[in-house]
Amino acid sequence: MYQKTTLDNGLRVITATMPHTRAVSICIFIGTGSRYENKAKAGISHFIEHLCFRGTHKRPTAREISTAIEGVGGIINAGTDKELTIYWCKVGKPHFSLALDVLADMLLHSRFNSEDIERERQVIIEEINMSKDSPSQRVDMLIDGLLWPGHPLGRDIAGSKESVLAITRNAMLDYMASQYQPKNTVISIAGALRHREIVTAINRSMGSWAGRQSHTGYLAYKPRSGRRLHIETRDTEQAHLCLALPGLPLSHPRRFVLDLLNIILGEGMSSRLFTEIRDRLGLAYSIQSYVEHFLDSGSVTIHAGVEPEKLQVAIKAILEQLSRLREPIPEPELSKAKELSKGRLLLRMEDSRSVSGWMGGQELLTGRILSVDDVLSIIDAITADELQNSARELLAESRLRLTVVGPVNSDSPLGELLKL
């Protein structure tokens, strides 16, 4: 159960009372991310998120911000995604007021000091370098470029070194003024606190926050044809691959059907991919699949690292498992997948951080919060016919995309393998 109040300035406050826990988690969701950026300002959302930890007028240094929370045993962090930015803090219940004050201070009163900007610029460039040097991360970036060619969804969230070097302080302040607005923000809190006292506290610290500009929207995604294969030759021990297809948007009625198909395919050590590719064939140490849902698009991606000489064998074996999803799912396997999905959800909901994230993310992106019981009922109602029909529709040969990073020639005929 949750309660929701919208303040006079448009800020949405959502709470869930968890009387059994001594922790309180605060999540502040901002409706902006890398897909809201143009190419010249790629990475600006991520840059701003970093700088909010650099210092405020009340707490002038990054150390003072972190010490305020870590000094009471709490955790504070943030993250930028393609469609949202989240700032969060988890503390013991007695320190709720402090945590709220620190987060509000960061969002509303960060200094954006010129020296801090230049230091953090170098930190982000090193973050970009680190990601490029990691084959497992690099192959994920490349598959996004094939799934969403020429679109912000296909770019690295951190931007490029060139765009990060060009972002100015004024550009960041202008972007923040248009995106960081109360009507574009959700504060979600879970813990052993009453809704009324939380709303009063937030009104006191953030009720005067006002949006003075019109909020800038995102570029809608329209499917377009593009490359199906991208190989980046690297001198590595493994060949890292991502095999992907376009998926379904967040609001699609069959979203949970696709999620369940993904569990059957590649989530957990009893999934088909793990059982076949690792256990039976011994081709990979790690292999998994995951699903992403965005406001107007989505994806299904399989990620693995294999011995270069066995790359083609591994790709064929993975494609065989994808193709098998179009066949009827046996009832015992369907039942197991449902129980895994429901069980993982119930375990997540034991933690106040997960509960606050569950509520706030849904409210911000969809304007509707499904309860845990709602989702359990949806999962229970999924039939084998629905799974098969969705698999036959989505798993089309022409939709396959493949990226590889490793000791593989760029002219290798891997594209010929993309058949179902």
49 is catalytic: yes
What is the pTM for the complete model shown? 0.95
* Structural domain boundaries in the chain: 3-206, 229-417
Burial 176-196 (b: 16+ CB within 10 A, else e): bebbbbbebbbbbbbbebebe
Catalytic residue among 37, 49, 83, 292: 49
Per-residue pLDDT of 124-172, as tens digits, reads 999 999 999 999 999 999 999 999 999 999 999 999 999 999 999 999 9
401-406 sheet: strands from edge to edge: 229-233, 401-406, 239-246, 298-306, 284-293
In this chain, the answer to whether the domains covering 3-206 and 229-417 adopt an identical fold is: yes
Q: Tell whether the model's pLDDT for residue 216 goes beyond 90.
A: no
Class of domain 3-206 (CATH, top level)? alpha beta
CATH no. of 229-417: 3.30.830.10
pLDDT of residue 215: 78
Tens of pLDDT along 268-316?
999 999 999 999 999 999 999 999 999 999 999 999 999 999 999 999 9
Rounded CA-CA distance 187/88 in Å is 10
Distance CA 341, CA 356 (A): 19
